[in-house]
Amino acid sequence: MRRGLLIVNADDWGGYPEMTDATLRCFEAGAISSTTAMMYMQDSDRAAELALSAGIPTGLHLNLTQPFEDPATPSGVRERQRKLTTRFRRRQLRRWTYDPSLRGLFERVIFDQFERFHELYGRAPVHVDGHEHAHLAFNVIFCSALDKGTALRCGGTVTGSPARRLRQWILKRRFRTPDLLRGFESFYPRWDRLSEELAVAHERSLEVSTHPGWPDNYARLLSPQWIDALSEHRLGSYADLPVQGASLPEPAYSSGGR
């Protein structure tokens, strides 16, 4: 029988100092087990130093929707990302269609963030997900930066519209993903029954996505109920998922090409 795995991931690491500090406190308390880092944001550089010092399993939180905020961002990197965020946010349909005209821009912006992650962390990210779920766009799913076997956040359950089911089927076939994904807020209505709500993680792999910088998330993550519930499970990161294919790629662009 397959042993379960519970991944409690904190998004937006390095996005701003308060998020970084709250996430670090949650990791030290055993309330989360991994995080995903934003590149070229307010606290990206300091967050990398903290993650390496604390030994936090860290992935890449792809940002295709929010402008870079680090004033030291190279002008070429900033302009490419600004151009993509402007076009990507303009139409929700872009998340459900593949636009060949944007292929090159998507790939370069994604490679920019992979490359910066390598510069800050000295290794590949443990996994990839996306700010505002941007990693689920078909232009991202089929980007050459994401080889088959890349550890990638899944899209939730296999229920929903035909388009959602198709996307989930592609994700499961192409990438290394947990079986299930739940947002931390989904536990709130049955907070007194956390053991029941998390029971699936005894047999399957479940990721719970959190945002410790949000006051309601932070308070509940550090509550005795949550800490006690986690003690019943094998807690880990995407590095603990079975390897089915290639690892995350090395960056294709040198820093001199910015």
Q: Residues 139-183: pLDDT tens digits?
A: 898 888 888 889 999 865 545 567 677 777 888 888 999 999 999
What does the H/E/C string look like for 7-70?
Answer: EEEEEEECCCHHHHHHHHHHHHCCCCCEEEECCCCCCHHHHHHHHHHHCCCEEEEECCCCCCCC
CATH of the domain at 70: 3.20.20.370
pLDDT given for residue 169 in this prediction: 80
Q: DSSP secondary structure string, 136-164?
A: GSHHHHT-TTS-TT-BB---S-S-S-HHH
C-beta separation of 32 from 220 below 8 A: no
Whether residue 95 lies inside any domain: the answer is: yes
164 Cβ partners below 8 Å, 6+ apart? 155, 156
**pLDDT score for 133:** 86
| pLDDT, tens only, 208-227 | 999 999 999 999 999 999 99
**Res 127: pLDDT:** 97
> Looking at the domain assignment, is residue 124 inside a domain?
yes
Instruction: Examine residue 82 and state whether it is found in any structural domain, yes or no.
Output: yes
Number of domains in the chain: 1
In a domain, 253, yes or no: no
For residue 192, tell me if it sits in a domain: yes
pLDDT at residue 248, rounded to an integer: 41
Is 50 part of any domain?
yes
pLDDT for res 174: 85
CA dist 251 and 222 (Å) reads 37
Q: Does residue 251 fall inside a structural domain?
A: no
Q: Which residues of the chain have pLDDT under 70?
A: 1-2, 90-96, 155-161, 163, 244-258
Predicted TM-score of the model (pTM): 0.89
pLDDT of res. 58: 98
Is position 44 within any domain? Answer: yes
Residue 200 domain boundaries: 5-241
pLDDT of residue 156: 58
